[in-house]
Amino acid sequence: MDKLEEQLAHLMRSVDDLSDVVARQETEIATLTRRVHMLMQREGEREAAGSEGIVLGNDRPPHY
């Protein structure tokens, strides 16, 4: 019985630790999602203004 209580306490500690990790990751993901959205919006505005942007995919840079 003591061994089961010890294992249960260990598992509960592990679950609490993992819960803290998940909560921290959720906050970090939300922050990164907001930053990506802001960058995409900024790049969209830059494209709409007609200025040069980042070369993506198969687009050739202007010196070709």
Instruction: State pTM to two decimals.
Output: 0.60
- Please report where in the chains the tokens 């630790």 appear, as a residue: 17
Mean pLDDT of 30-55: 86
Q: Which pLDDT value is given to residue 8?
A: 97
